[in-house]
Amino acid sequence: MIRIEIDGCGVLICGPLEAVARKFEAELVQRGFTRKSVMNRLRLLAHLSRWLDAEGVPPESLTAEQVEAFLAERGRTHTGLFSRRALGPVLDWLAGEGAIPRAAASVPVAVDPAELVGFEEYLRAERRLEASTIAAGMARARRFLAVYAPPGGAGELTAAEVTRALLDEGATRKPVSVKAFGYTLRSLLRFFFITGITGHDLSAATLVIRSPQPSRLPVGVGRDDVAGLLAGCDRNTRAGMRDYAVLLLLSRLGLRAIEVARLRLEDIDWRRAEMLVRGKGNRDERLPLPREVGEAIVDYLRGGRPADAGFWEVFAADRAPRRPLTREAVGGIVERACDRAGLSRFGTHRLRHTLGEQMVTAAVPLDAIGQVLRHTSPVTTAGYARVDVPALRGLAQPWPRAGGERS
């Protein structure tokens, strides 16, 4: 039995994993984890070690099924600490050290029926959707078939099951979730019909879900507000240099959050002052790299990006473990910048809208705006015409007054 203490907080570790606890602590500290993160991971290790001891399971014989049993048992009383996501890094390290089998660190994979396997491949190869979009769609498709498919399988589906599924969905979930569920069902049922799984096209049975849409008059932010976001970045720190470069990419080039997260070192052509943008639908396009943005990226690469990053994405998390920024992390950068600037929080897309509105105000043609923002449809770009309020006033009809006068 050993006790590991960090800044006055201690974790008692006993059982078969006691021998590797000190090495695990040293690895976490070396990788730059915060004190709280180190303690939480050590607590997970301690709980797992005591569970192995109580169950009489040698670490070298641990299986993925036993890991799930451990999570289910401890999760009933420690819901915030015990999850597959939290335990994953601990298991990965133990497997790397040879303390447990590599298979024990793997997440059990549910075996989908053949029709769902084909649907997933269709989404990936034909629709060319992103991995996160495919995962969300597959989760909805699995839920639909598990609850509403007849005993004979997907081939016996009728319009009644489709309608009932959407009505049940609407009873418990928000309209935006019901719309997403309906889109997935429509795609799934069309795939079933095209591939011969169902004899009739049931996609017409998916109800059209409508929800009120707010007015799309100006949704951007002012130039002074953008300047405040940038000025709030402490460029003497690693995180400040990174945040400044990210905010410039969002506000000067109108990149989406996921496009910033995907930006890789080889995507920047410094000689030509161009950058490759990995956009929606796997569309890769080149944009000019403004001097201001390029200099901010260079400053971050030289003084902010960890030298031991180990990946090709430009932007890295400033806390351990070292990993590329995610779309959600880019959104967090904008929200924290809003807090520093004293602004109400908004998302990354507001900065994209801001650039579009600035170009409209500068009388840039809509087709040129569409090229900069990389819209796939001119209808999307046309929406920006509505932000030119002075021009819209000229289209308004005079309001009638009493006596026949108009104002």
Please say if 375 is a catalytic residue: yes
CA distance linking residue 256 with residue 80, whole number of Å: 32
CA distance linking residue 87 with residue 190, whole number of Å: 39
Give buried/exposed letters for 69-79 (b at 16+ CB in 10 A, else e).
ebbeebeeeee
Active-site position among 41, 305, 350, 352: 352
Please say if 41 is a catalytic residue: no
Residue type, 136: A
Active-site position among 43, 140, 350, 375: 375
Please say if 349 is a catalytic residue: yes
* Main-chain phi, psi angles of 284, to 5 degrees: -100, 125
Active-site position among 148, 244, 300, 384: 384
Active-site position among 278, 349, 374, 386: 349
Active-site position among 280, 336, 340, 386: 280
The Cβ of residue 374 has, within 10 Å, a number of other Cβ atoms equal to: 17
Please say if 319 is a catalytic residue: no
Q: Which two tokens stand for residue 251?
A: 């506000």
Q: Which two tokens stand for residue 74?
A: 């401890």
Q: What is the DSSP letter of 406?
A: B
Please say if 128 is a catalytic residue: no
Active-site position among 74, 256, 262, 305: 256
Q: Which two tokens stand for residue 114?
A: 């053949």
Contacts of 252 (CB under 8 A, 6+ apart): 290, 292, 293, 355
Please say if 286 is a catalytic residue: no
Q: What is the DSSP letter of 123?
A: I
CA distance linking residue 261 with residue 368, whole number of Å: 25
CA distance linking residue 340 with residue 334, whole number of Å: 10
Distances (CA, A) of 184 to 139, 154, 377, 385: 10, 15, 22, 32
Q: For strands 2-6 and 9-13, give the pairing.
A: antiparallel
Q: Which two tokens stand for residue 403?
A: 């006596």
Using alpha carbons, select from 279, 264, 150 the residue that is nearest to residue 202: 150
Residue at token pair 């984890």: 33
Using alpha carbons, select from 241, 274, 279, 273 the residue that is nearest to residue 260: 279
Active site residues: 256, 280, 349, 352, 375, 384
